[in-house]
Structure 1
């Protein structure tokens, strides 16, 4: 199975150009959902795969992508799935198991929530993570072990409606089989104290926010 792909979507880009250049240099396969291709054009990198209804990407950029060999998959505007969800499904179908998403944050919080729903829907077959320079947003349904920097701020929330039972190791406030409940923000603002952390879910799914810089 293939490993990682990048996905640029049509949201707000909040990181430095140097950050995106570094990410592009780290990964060989790059994709875009609709106007995410505009960001890639500004970076001088055409998407290997461009999907969506193309209602927000310019014709100039669309032709630029085609002229450089992008595979372009156009869907009708009247559809049930968002462009981001279609792009994630297309990457899964092509054998990718890990997708880093850029441009998913910003003022359109409804689009952000839609992206979270897409990540959740594919959680058993695809590890999709929203990443920007200062924050990483993802989900854990079973277990995740990760090397981190000490002093990172993490917040965890239940997601998906099922009872979420979580254990945390390597944090200032460790947890053992604790229930993350809606209406009780137990998982907000924890801090890493070790260089390796572990998050385990015995039930449900935990949504996490990992802040990569201290404020």
Structure 2
């Protein structure tokens, strides 16, 4: 099992995953730990960052602190490098949205950069979203909002199970994006040939 749970310093999630045992590693940035992660009853494997916002008194013994002072990369980018070094292949990320929107945009850019090394899924209180493979199957999504957002272009998109289907059609910023579609079936299939596609799924 090479799946990690990772927290960064955005909006504090109102709840965390219940299936903690499916993660082989749990970690966070220093800002996330000081703001909210310290309140959770979790066994944290490491905290990374430049530690400019870490309250040392909050950190119990046994948690590894990894200094990543390089200011040319974000704390999220440097943390993902650490996860790749530990042979993690999947990451569920909480705290990527909210608060400072420029950080959120940067987090998306970082996720795209690591797409071929890590399967990164972002979660918040309202949705989950991820950069998709060229063919993606979604389950248990009937009635949920499904948005397809190209970065910056995705070609020959085909969908099944959406209210407004696409049939070998392109999406491209800024001309046309596929926001606010809706799943009409429990299972949805999305395929495309070239480019990059961010898939957003509402919680309800």
Common fold: TM-score over 0.5: yes
Give the Å deviation of 1:190.
0.7
Runs of 5+ consecutive residues of structure 2 not aligned to the other structure: none
Does residue 1:30 correspond to 2:30, yes or no?
no
For structure 1, which runs of at least 5 residues remain unmatched after alignment? none
RMSD of aligned C-alpha atoms? 1.8
CA deviation vs aligned residue, 1:162-207 (integer Å, no higher than 9, x gap): 5544221221112122110112344011111111111212000111
Q: Using the alignment, how far apart are the partners of 1:71 and 1:167 within structure 2?
A: 46
Spell out, residue by residue over 1:137-172, the C-alpha distance to the aligned partner (whole angstroms, 9 max, x if none).
21114221121231000111111x455442212211
1:44 to partner: Cα distance: 2.4
Q: Which residue does the alignment assign to 2:113?
A: 121
Name the count of aligned residue pairs. Answer: 203
The match for 2:162 is 171
For the structure 1 residues 21 and 144, does the alpha-carbon distance in structure 2 shift closer, same or farther, using more than 3 Å as the test? Answer: closer
Query: CA shift at 1:212, angstroms?
Result: 1.1
Contact 1:97 1:127 in 2 (8 A): yes
Range with bigger deviation, 83-92 or 21-30: 21-30
Aligned equivalents of 2:50, 2:73: Cα separation in 1: 11
Aligned match of 1:131 in 115, 123, 126? Answer: 123
Structure 1 residues 28 and 93: alpha-carbon distance in aligned structure 2, compared to 1, 3 A threshold: closer
2:189 maps to 1:198: yes
